[in-house]
Amino acid sequence: MATTTNYGWTTPDDTALVKDGAAAIRTLGSSVDTTTKALNPSTTLGDIEFRSSTANTNTRLGIGTTGQVLTVAGGVPSWATAGGGGMTVIASGSLSGSSVVLSSIPNTFNDLILITRNATHSSGGNMLMRFNGVSSSVYRTSSTYGNDNTFTLTTNLFPTGDVATTDDGNFVNIRIYDYANSTTRKLSDINSYTSVNSNIVNRLGVYAETTAITSITIFPESLATYTGGTYVLYGVK
């Protein structure tokens, strides 16, 4: 019995009788159907196929989940969580009241980035920040312009310069490194701009505790209350 070159499908011989044609067509059709399915094993929207170790047979890789990327593990394609560089919003909202607490921060990221925009509060003055609700003297920052003259703050880490009573377009960007580490102190880069006194602030901050950071409290000094502004907290891979 004759066969095709690539897949070995059975076809009628040149000397086959006409009466054998129907059976030959059925045999060929069945072979084509079986081979086609082996090359296309997908069952679900988003599936992809890759060449398996068996000749003329593909393997189905089901669609991954949101945020995953295609990689290779053990010599075959697979889905995995995205590597370094990605940013995920953990929390966002408006600045209001005497404080804003960002709690239940997951420990699945490398760093945190906190951004506030257009913050205002009732009496003007500094925007302050605490980690894990700790109000003891475990916070240190460099001077406003980042020289080596460090000082200890009794209860607060100063993340920015003055915040006005009316919106002056201020912007604060704070990166907290290795926040989930439970064995070392935590370093922060603190950068901000406010039109009050044309103040541009660049500081380093240290949280002198080894406990992982699971919450951040943002609050104004002088027992003021926030009257405007927004915040967003990112987790960084």
Least confident of 8-12, 81-85, 108-112, 200-204: 81-85
For the ranges 67-71, 115-119, 140-144, 145-149, the one whose mean pLDDT is highest: 115-119
Least confident of 42-46, 59-63, 213-217, 220-224: 220-224
Residue 147 has pLDDT above 60, yes or no: no
The verdict on 50 and 34 lying in the same domain is yes
The verdict on 213 and 151 lying in the same domain is yes
Instruction: pLDDT band for 75, please (50, 70, 90 cuts).
Output: confident
Domain residue limits at 101: 87-236
Mean pLDDT of 107-121: 92
Arithmetic mean of pLDDT over the chain: 82
pLDDT at 131: 94
Residue-wise pLDDT for 169-184, tens only, equals: 788 899 999 999 999 9
Mean pLDDT of 102-120: 94
The verdict on 16 and 112 lying in the same domain is no
In whole angstroms, what is the distance from residue 9 CA to residue 25 CA? 11
The verdict on 134 and 72 lying in the same domain is no
* Number of domains composing the chain: 2
The verdict on 16 and 95 lying in the same domain is no
Question: Quick one: tokens of 2?
Answer: 């004759």
Residue 118 has pLDDT above 80, yes or no: yes
The verdict on 119 and 175 lying in the same domain is yes
The verdict on 45 and 117 lying in the same domain is no
The verdict on 130 and 210 lying in the same domain is yes
In whole angstroms, what is the distance from residue 129 CA to residue 182 CA? 20
Residue-wise pLDDT for 31-71, tens only, equals: 777 777 777 888 889 888 888 888 878 888 999 888 788 99
pLDDT at 150: 47
The verdict on 143 and 39 lying in the same domain is no
CATH number at residue 177: 2.60.120
Instruction: pLDDT band for 128, please (50, 70, 90 cuts).
Output: confident
- In this structure, the strands spanning 186-194 and 199-207 are antiparallel
Domain edge (last residue) among 81, 102, 136: 81
The verdict on 99 and 216 lying in the same domain is yes
Domain edge (last residue) among 18, 46, 81: 81
Count the Cβ atoms, other than its own, within 10 Å of residue 140. 16
The verdict on 63 and 129 lying in the same domain is no
Domain edge (last residue) among 81, 113, 145: 81
Q: What is the 3 state secondary structure string of the chain?
A: CEECCCCCCEECCCCCCHHHHHHHHHHHHHHHHHHHHHHCCCCCCCCEEEECCCCCCEEEECCCCCCEEEEEECCEEEEEECCCCCEEEEEEEECCECCEEECCCCCCCCEEEEEEEEEEECCCEEEEEEECCCCCCCEEECCCCCCCCCEEECCCECCCCEECCCCCCCEEEEEEECCCCCCCCEEEEEEEEECHHHEEEEEEEEECCCCCCCCEEEEECCCCCEEEEEEEEEEEC
